[in-house]
Amino acid sequence: MSETAIPKPHFDKEALRRKYREERDKRVRPDGNEQYIEIKDHLAYYLEDPYVPTTEREPVTDHVTFAFIGGGFSGLVTGARLAEQGITDVRILEKGGDFGGTWYWNRYPGAQCDTAALIYLPLLEETGHMPSEKYVHAPEILEQYQRIGRHYNLYDKALFHTQVKSLVWDEENARWQIETDRGDNFTAQYIGMGTGPLHVPKLPGLPGIEDFKGHSFHTSRWDYEYTGGDPKGAPLSKLADKRVAIIGTGATAVQCIPHLARACKDLCVCQRTPSSVDIRNNEPIDPEWFKSIATPGWQKRWLENFTANQTGQPVDEDLVQDGWTDLSKRVRARISQLPRENLTVEKMMAAYEDSDFEKMEEIRARCNEVVEDQETAELLKAWYQQLCKRPCFHDDYLKAYNEPACHLVDTDGKGVERITEKGVVVAGVEYEVDCIIYASGFEVGTPYERRSGYDTIGRNGVKLSDYWTDGMRTLHGVHVHGFPNMFIVQATQGANLISNYPHNLTECGNTIALMVKHAQDTQARKIEVTREAEDAWLELLLQAPPMMIGSTECTPGYYNNEGQGWGEGVQRATGYPHGPVAYFKYLDEWRTSGDFDGIAFT
Ligand code: NDP
């Protein structure tokens, strides 16, 4: 097929590029990530747990086979796979009052997962759970954590409301020494770490933030005492006489604003950058249909199908059919129309850009279709490529602006200026409110040891933060030389599959359990990646094409370190160069061969 057969886009690409650049430029600020403040000291009350009271307990001083830091999906899937291998002496440590990780904290009204439940929720087949809807709401996600915890007896040794403060490798005894903020001081032969990418809330560093005399809270500590309602969707009845400002319009705000718009006397949405909000099309799952697909091995098939579709691999069908696979299918369709001789990187990037313009034009048009006030509709339009910021999907968000109580206060990219005793100031205008809700997100670009609350000290007293001064170095994103018997459960330097994070974690958990079992079977005391294998992995990773996510060409946000990029280390914040599908296949062969190439069992 000749190139002329490709339908010519009906938009002015140059004008769009110019608009994207202008909108980006007006948002880039010299203080970058420093514009946010760490929540501590006199602001520490923003971190208090409103959901589960802390109970007194005696400190633990024993020894366990495996200690896992973090009670989110990483800890649970690893604990589950260890249990399946007969390793049950496992202790999960968690700063929240229950399992759940990000879903323990994020109980704001409307909280829901943007990835389809059949692939997002781990261990559905093992626990026998059928999700109630295509995109499940937060309470059901939390229940799945608890179900996994009960199913695999992971509650028995878990320590909640507990934060690790010190983690030191003891070479002589081949074990880790762990101390916590609850006075615990115990040892573990192995440790796992799954502290998650988004778990420390942050506040905008606005002048006057401490002066506000009304009520305020962060979305990840939703105050239902104040608002009324509950995470299951009961109306926020106590807000009927309240004027509320919400700061932020990211993925969290998009989900809770419809609930606030219906409940408040007056809602003032302070917007700095609009999110792209595509259709959601959620629907209940029909048990009969579920029965027909839930044949043995179904979840693995669905996971593999989604990953292939989403990452542009040739597949016959798209089982999940959502916004993530839609974008990939569009790009693939355009690329497949390119004549063979035109399959250059430039042409493929141009095809990607065309698909993205097309998609974003649809999303922008939706603002005009749904929002009655056309001035507001214009202000809600996102002027950047879809993957510059976290794409959102919602069917009630735009409609919320048709509620009489809901007012958009657009800041033209500048953000809220300051907070006063009475409310928020935007462009010199004070908006008096009773309550400010910070939907201002989570720390991302800050040092990992600040977010975790401890540094990890490996062999010869080497700190992990020092070992990683020039950027992360691992094998598979999991194993670090000089830090034996330690496993990091996350996606970077592995599959790096962002659209379905738990898939990465489940694969890590599968691998770790097999390795620990192998060590036990061979009576090895230590599992450690060799420096050579770590070097070789890094060399391989550096062949990966630059990531789309994180580009400084994009409008600022946490994806690109607030427009400043990630510096030299960014090249290492990547994944397997051949993509997630190939990575999962490689990893499966690596762990099931029994060789664990590059790992020393001693
Ligand atoms: P984000 O970091 O995405 O959003 C923070 C918001 O605060 C942005 O809109 C930001 O504007 C705004 N902001 C910051 N400072 C100011 C200021 N001074 N004035 C006005 N606005 C300001 O946090 P979220 O909590 O929304 O989302 C975090 C992540 O959590 C998501 O990206 C997603 O990965 C995850 N999430 C996942 C969900 C799921 O379905 N799985 C659901 C919800 C969240 P600006 O954009 O200009 O920086």
pLDDT of residue 337: 82
Average confidence (pLDDT) over 570-595: 93
Please name the residue whose Cα sits nearest to atom 32 of ligand 1: 390
Task: Tell which residue, 197, 195, 165, 191, has the closest CA to residue 487.
Answer: 191
At 597, the pLDDT band (50, 70, 90 cuts) reads very high
Domain that holds residue 408: 34-46+201-275+389-438
User: Which ranges of 222-278 would DSSP assign to H, the alpha helix?
Assistant: 224-227, 251-263
Residues 100, 182: one domain?
yes
Q: Find the farthest-apart pair of alpha carbons in the chain and give their distance in angstroms, rounded.
A: 74
Percent of all residues in the chain with a pLDDT value above 90, rounded to a whole number:
83
Q: Verify that 462 and 405 share a domain, yes or no.
A: no
Do both 296 and 319 map to the same domain? yes
Q: Write phi, then psi, for 301 (nearest 5 degrees).
A: -60, -40
CB atoms inside a 10 Å sphere around CB 541: 23
Q: Whose CA is nearest to atom 35 of ligand 1?
A: 251
Assess if residue 55 is contained within a domain.
Answer: no
- Residue of 217, 390, 408 to test ligand 1 pocket, by largest number of atoms within 8 Å of CB: 390
Round to whole Å and give the CA distance between 175 and 300: 34
Last residue of a domain, one of 408, 438, 468: 438
Strands (E), 24-174: 36-38, 63-69, 90-93, 164-170
CATH number at residue 206: 3.50.50.60
- Is residue 251 in contact with ligand 1, taking CB distance under 6 Å? yes
236 ligand 1 Cβ < 6 A: no
Name which residue sits closest to atom 4 of ligand 1, judged by CA. 250
Task: Name the closest-CA residue to atom 14, ligand 1.
Answer: 440
Q: Is residue 56 part of a domain?
A: no
pLDDT at 94: 98
Which residue from 46, 142, 198 has its CB within 8 A of the most atoms of ligand 1, so it is best to mutate? Answer: 198
Q: For residue 444, what pLDDT is reported?
A: 85
565, pLDDT greater than 80: yes
DSSP state of 88: -
425 phi, psi to nearest 5 deg: -115, 125
What pLDDT shows up at residue 8?
Answer: 56
Q: Beta-carbon neighbour count of residue 176 at 10 Å?
A: 25
The pair phi, psi for residue 474, each rounded to 5°, is -150, 175
Residues 90 and 184 in one domain: yes
Last-in-domain residue among 311, 336, 354: 354
CA 206 to ligand 1: nearest atom: 18
Q: How many angstroms does the Cα of residue 475 sit away from the middle of ligand 1?
A: 31
Distance CA 134, CA 323 (A): 13
- Minimal-distance CA residue to ligand 1 atom 20: 415
Is the domain of 349 the same as that of 286? yes
Q: What is the 3-state secondary structure (H, E, C) of 392-442?
A: EECCCHHHHCCCCCEEEEECCCCCCCEECCCEEEECCEEEECCEEEECCCE
> In this structure, which residue's CA is closest to atom 19 in ligand 1?
415
pLDDT at residue 569 greater than cutoff 80: no
Q: Is there a domain that residue 122 lies in?
A: yes
- The conformational region for residue 108 under phi > 0 = left, psi -120 to 50 = alpha, else beta, is beta
The predicted pLDDT at position 311 comes to 86
Residue having the nearest C-alpha atom to atom 28 of ligand 1: 441
If you take atom 10 of ligand 1, which residue's CA is the nearest one? 248
| 139 domain-assigned | yes
Q: Of 337, 354, 371, which residue is a domain's last?
A: 354
Residues 586 and 476 in one domain: yes
Ligand 1 pocket, residue 270 CB under 6 Å: yes
- For ligand 1, atom 33, name the residue with the nearest CA: 251
Report CA(248)–ligand 1 centroid distance (Å): 6
More reliable by pLDDT, 8 or 92? 92
Number of domains in the chain: 3
Whether 89 and 126 share a structural domain: yes
Q: Where are the beta strands (DSSP E) in 130-214?
A: 164-170, 175-180, 185-193, 202-204
Residue-level pLDDT at 316? 86
Which atom of ligand 1 is nearest to 438's Cα? 7
Say if residue 5's pLDDT is above 60: no
Same domain, 348 and 415: no
Taking residues 342-350, what's their average pLDDT?
A: 82
- Is residue 561 situated within a structural domain? no
Q: What percent of the chain has pLDDT over 70?
A: 98
Q: How far is the CA of 273 from the centre of ligand 1 (A)?
A: 10
Residue 421 has pLDDT above 90, yes or no: yes
For the residues 342-355, what does the mean pLDDT come to? 84
If asked whether residues 196 and 213 sit together in one domain, one would say: no
| 350 part of a folded domain | yes
Supply the residue whose CA is at minimum distance from atom 3 of ligand 1.
250
pLDDT of residue 3 exceeding 50, the answer is: no
Rounded to the nearest integer, the mean pLDDT of the chain is: 94
Do 189 and 210 lie in a common domain? no
Question: 249: CA distance to ligand 1 center in Å?
Answer: 6
Q: How many of the other CB atoms lie within 10 Å of CB of 4? A: 7
Model confidence over 274-330: pLDDT tens digits? Answer: 999 999 999 999 999 999 999 999 999 999 999 999 888 888 899 998 888 887 788
Residues 413 and 324 in one domain: no
CA of 526 to the centre of ligand 1 (A): 41
Residue 272 Cβ < 6 Å to ligand 1: yes
The number of helix segments (H) and strand segments (E) in the chain equals 19, 21
| CA–CA dist 580, 136 (Å, integer) | 25
**Residue 405 is which amino acid?**
A
Q: What band does 9 get if pLDDT is binned at 50, 70 and 90?
A: low
- The model's pLDDT over 433-459, given as tens digits with 9 standing for 90+, comes to 999 999 999 998 788 888 888 999 999
110 Cβ closer than 6 Å to some ligand 1 atom: no
Is residue 51 included in any domain, yes or no?
Answer: no
Residue 379 lies in a domain: no
**Distance, CA 116 to ligand 1 centroid (Å)?**
20
Note the pLDDT tens digit of each residue in 132-179. Answer: 999 999 999 999 999 999 999 999 999 999 999 999 999 999 999 999
Which residues touch 357 (CB under 8 Å, ≥6 apart)? Answer: 9, 11, 13, 16
Residue 7 clears pLDDT 70, i.e. is over it? no
Any atom of ligand 1 within 6 Å of the Cβ of 437: no
C-alpha–C-alpha distance, residues 195 and 177, integer Å: 18
Q: What is the pLDDT of residues 102-144, one digit of tens each?
A: 999 999 999 999 999 999 999 999 999 999 999 999 999 999 9
Shared-domain flag, residues 285 and 269: no
**Ligand 1 centroid from CA 476, angstroms:** 29
